[in-house]
Amino acid sequence: MKKIPYTKAAWITSVCLLILLAVLGTGATIAWFTDTPAVDRNTFQVGTMDLKVSYKNDQVTDYTAMDGNTAVFNDQALYEPGYTQVVYLKIENDGNVSFDYKLSVDMNSYTDGVNVYGETLHLPDHLRFGVVFGASEAELDRALARENAVNQMESYCLDTYSQLDTVSVAAGEVRYAALVVFMPEEVDNVANGRGEAPSVELGVGVYAQQAGTPMA
């Protein structure tokens, strides 16, 4: 092989560099390495989380889809000592990603009244709630839900605490819950209204998040 003199080799290298700079100066790009991933065998998918919630109560006897406008509690209920409302929830995971969910009983709005002593009557102060979670509908127990509310009477006051325990639901699974709201029997005339009756509008919050991630 014929050896190229050093000066000539240096001249050739300089010319090549000038050509390279000229190409770069035109805005063209040079890809030193290129590759195209194989797509004929591997498929990449993003998991989906699909939460479905339905409910029933004393008036709605079959599970019915619930949305943001569904009144699952009776807003016209006349609360008195011992009065109880129960809502049964069906939680379905129709996606392919496991999720954790938790429930709350929320006070959407209220109207204060006056009791027989002439004092302000704030109805939510005298209501309590509890919950029973179950893997099947047969595990729901109205009496147990009420008992849980009695045992946690201070914690489960609507005005002070509404977030409940977190429950995990795997993809394709169904879970159930019974929510109870009631006025304890020991409530006396402090909750006995005079004149315009106090009222409260209650709602249910269902919060879901991918399993294993911290939930606020």
**Across the chain, what does the average pLDDT equal?**
75
Query: Phi, psi (5° rounding) for residue 104?
Result: -145, 150
User: Is the distance from CB of 158 to CB of 129 less than 8 angstroms?
Assistant: yes
Is 168 within 8 Å of 98 (Cβ atoms)? Answer: yes
As given in the structure block, the two tokens for residue 9 are 């080799």
Mean pLDDT of 50-60: 90
pLDDT over threshold 80, residue 93: yes
Split at pLDDT 50, 70, 90, the class of 202 is confident
The residue type at 207: Y
CA neighbor of 178 nearest in space, from 136, 139, 135, 132: 132
Note whether 162 and 106 are within 8 A (CB): yes
Is 50 exceeded by the pLDDT of residue 25?
no
Amino acid 179: pLDDT: 86
Question: What pLDDT shows up at residue 24?
Answer: 41
Judge whether 180 and 131 are in contact, CB under 8 Å.
yes
Q: What is the pLDDT of residues 139-156, one digit of tens each?
A: 887 777 777 666 654 444
What is the average pLDDT across 71-91? 89
Distance of alpha carbon 66 from alpha carbon 82, whole angstroms: 27
Highest mean pLDDT among 35-49, 146-160, 185-199: 185-199
- What domains appear along the chain, each with residue ranges and CATH number? 51-210 (2.60.40)
Q: Higher confidence at residue 201 or residue 3?
A: 201
CB contact set of 202 (below 8 Å; sequence gap of 6+): 73, 75, 105, 106, 107, 108, 158, 181
Instruction: Check residues 121 and 216 and name the one with the higher pLDDT.
Output: 121
Reading the block at residue 47, the tokens are 């998991």
Residue with tokens 């050896």: 3
Mean pLDDT of 81-103: 89
Residue of higher predicted confidence among 67 and 56: 56
The counts of H helices and E strands in the chain are: 2, 11
